[in-house]
A and B are shown apart, each in its own frame.
Chain A
Amino acid sequence: MSTLTNVRIAAVGDIHLGEDVRGEYRKRLEGIEERADVLMLAGDLTRHGTLEEGRLVADELRDLPVTTVAVLGNHDYHSDQQDAIAGELRDAGVIVLNDDGVVIECGGTKLGVVGGKGFGGGFAGKCASEFGEREIKDFVAHTRSIAEAWKVALKEMQADRRVVLSHYSPVKETLHGEPLEIYPFLGSYLLAEAVDTVGAELILHGHAHKGSEKGLTPGGIRVRNVALPVLGKAYAVYCLD
Chain B
Amino acid sequence: MEAPQYVAARIQQALAEDARTHELGIHVDVRGDQLFLRGQVSGTEQRERLGQVAHEAAPDLRMHNEIKVVVVSEPGEDEHLD
Contacts and interface: CB of A to CB of B under 8 A. Distances in A.
A222 interface: yes
A21 interface: yes
A210 interface: yes
Contact of A229 (B40, B45, B74): B40
A47 interface: yes
Contact of B70 (A47, A232, A236, A240): A232
Contacts of B46: 18, 20
B26 to A, nearest CB: 10
A28 interface: yes
Given A48-B22, A210-B25, A237 B73 contact: no
A241 B78 contact: no
Interface in A208-241: 209-210, 222, 228-229, 232-241
Given A228-B70, A234-B73, A209 B40 contact: yes
Contact of A241 (B39, B42, B45, B82): B82
A239 B81 contact: yes
A233 B74 contact: yes
Interface in A192-214: 201-202, 209-210
A237 B79 contact: yes
Interface residues of A, number: 32
Contact of B75 (A75, A209, A235): A235
Given A201-B81, A209-B25, A237-B78, 10 more contacts: A10-B75, A35-B75, A47-B22, A209-B39, A210-B25, A210-B39, A229-B40, A233-B73, A233-B75, A238-B81
**Residue picked from A15, A201, A239, most chain B C-beta under 10 Å:** A239
A78 interface: yes
Nearest to A46: B22
Contact of B81 (A35, A210, A234, A240): A240
15 contacts: A8-B78, A21-B42, A28-B74, A209-B25, A209-B39, A222-B81, A228-B42, A229-B25, A232-B72, A232-B73, A234-B73, A234-B75, A236-B75, A238-B78, A241-B81
Contacts of A78: 22
Contacts of A239: 78-81
Interface of B: 19, 22, 25, 39-40, 42-43, 45-46, 70-76, 78-82
A28 B78 contact: no
B79 A202 contact: no
A229 B70 contact: yes
B36 to A, nearest CB: 16
B11 to A, nearest CB: 16
B76 to A, nearest CB: 6
Contacts of A228: 42, 70, 72
Question: What are the 4 A-B residue pairs with the smallest beta carbon separation, nearest first?
Answer: A241-B82, A237-B78, A209-B25, A20-B45
Contacts of B75: 10, 35, 233-237
Given A25-B72, A48-B22, A236 B81 contact: no
